[in-house]
A and B are shown apart, each in its own frame.
Chain A
């Protein structure tokens, strides 16, 4: 009797598992058409988004100079980054610095401007949205080169000299004291990106009756209204916006190159993206470049996860 029971149990388990499996297969067969719909996109997604991650991690443990086949050196690339590379600490520090400034301020400014713009009438709102989003659309760094031009014909130097604030033209993009502030101004200028649009949309969707209910429940000023009603209501947009801002803040590189050159004077605006480009394209040390890519990738993912955790507490 007891023996039979003991035998029956694994049998039952197996039949449960196999029936679950056959159910899954049946579901898959039933939805065969769905997989065909997804196939083209997923194939490209796999090859150009997932495969590069795997490739970067794999090559980061190898020495690979393109000419010879790669060979495994385990952690050597990472050890070298932190112990034998003079430029890496500078690149890491600058990347974290730019990310810490551009990420949070771009995010908060996007939210602040979206919140203020949302109060306007419909036409003014559409116009203001366009003005604030135009820098992201246009993306013309050339204009800033003319504004920050190192002679008196640049807009900024012309203005400063004309008003008597300075006598000599300032070399904004070559002088090491001014490069970083100039870069930050330009990056902030174009930091109202996807998250800004998402916030505008999220704010317009807040249920207006909630504000009346809030006023009855004792919400006294607009800041309380924002914290207790608006922000919790648009939490999904806040989380999406955070992902967009963080990802953009960690990958500043091309904008800086366009503005102050590659490399910038004394490497004051040298970031991990530049460091990676240097090793990946000039020096052809692919394994080493992949180690930098892997680190940057992990930093982005980690930072995103942390911020998602924090944002899930907004308004609680």
Chain B
């Protein structure tokens, strides 16, 4: 059935040239990442070989071991940056999924005064982002006493409008009959939320997870945190890179460590993400 329309207006040549075009552009997308991975495994003399090669010839783990030696000698040990990023990412992501699910549940499945207004506010919030508002946000955080604590990053992450929008859109398609049936069986709203709604929206959790991890894991230096012992892995990465050419191998090793986590998560949850994104969409 799905193939039948293809006969109408598609030729085989078009398919092949499309694939070639996609592979060509795909190479452009992949080259920087491949180059970084390859450099991370290059010995020093190979990094400074002319002309530079895209693929490593004599792979070595030296850069990674150098990284740990270098970092354990530094004033703030490398493990500390790693812990900071891990802590911010995991707590921020977990909290966001919990709070967003709790808020999306009534908005998507019940009617009550204020429902439409709140939904409109969240859609409007998608139309600007945090980068624009960091100065007023800084002043607010200074008032609350969040500056120079993990909370300056974690708590705002809980309130991300994109996650909220996606979760709400996804929950809207849960069949009402499921909820009605549970209510007739005597389940309260908390029970319905926990044992009916939450299992149904697993794809949306994974989607929120990938978006949240993507932004928190890659979070570098921010104005909210000045204390060295609270800074993150991407910040440490920029410090190593700025130390100059002698650290070229090591900085690629960090780049690889950085990209492994979000890419792996994406590979694992891709089909769930696509399923969730299918319900994203603004009605006019």
Contacts and interface: CB of A to CB of B under 8 A. Distances in A.
Given A49-B125, A253-B131, A201 B277 contact: yes
Nearest to B222: A254
B139 A34 contact: no
A154 B51 CA distance: 9
B2 A208 contact: yes
Contact of B284 (A52, A59, A197, A239): A239
7 contacts: A37-B106, A44-B158, A248-B129, A276-B135, A297-B128, A297-B132, A312-B284
A34 B189 contact: yes
Contacts of A9: none
Please provide the 4 A-B residue pairs with the shortest distance between their CB atoms, ordered closest to farther: A236-B281, A44-B159, A41-B103, A201-B277
A153 B135 CA distance: 39
Nearest to A56: B136
A61 to B, nearest CB: 13
A96 B14 CA distance: 37
A205 B271 contact: no
A129 B270 contact: yes
A205 B121 CA distance: 27
Interface string B118-158: 10011011111101111111111000100000000001101
A289 B135 contact: yes
Interface string A51-64: 11101100100000
B256 to A, nearest CB: 9
Given A134-B29, A158-B52, 4 more contacts: A31-B106, A143-B33, A155-B52, A162-B51
Contacts of A228: none
Contact of B8 (A59, A161, A215, A301): A215
Interface string A273-312: 1001000110000100110010011001100110010011
A33 B190 CA distance: 9
Contacts of B14: 222
Interface stretch (A76-84, A116-124, A175-183): A116-124
B113 to A, nearest CB: 5
B284 A247 contact: no
Interface residues of A, number: 114
Interface of B: 1-2, 4-5, 8-10, 14-15, 18-19, 21-22, 25-26, 28-30, 32-33, 35-36, 39, 47-48, 50-52, 54, 99-100, 102-103, 105-107, 110, 112-114, 118, 121-122, 124-129, 131-140, 144, 155-156, 158-159, 161-162, 164, 188-190, 193, 211, 214, 218, 220, 223, 237-238, 241, 245, 248, 251-252, 254-255, 258-259, 262-263, 266-267, 270-271, 273-278, 280-284
Contact of A189 (B2, B32, B162): B32
A158 B50 contact: yes
Nearest to A208: B2
Contacts of B223: 281
A15 B54 CA distance: 79
B111 to A, nearest CB: 8
Given A143-B36, A146-B35, A290-B136, A208 B263 contact: no
A185 B13 CA distance: 30
Interface string A233-274: 011110110011011101101100010000000000000010
Contacts of B124: 301
B282 A132 contact: no
A131 interface: yes
B281 A237 contact: yes
Contact of B278 (A137, A201, A212, A235): A201
A175 B105 CA distance: 53
Given A142-B241, A215-B8, A41 B102 contact: yes
Contacts of B121: 45, 50
Contact of B282 (A37, A130, A221, A239): A239
Contacts of B5: 208, 211-212, 214-215
Which among B14, B105, B124 has the greatest number of chain A C-beta atoms within 10 A?
B124
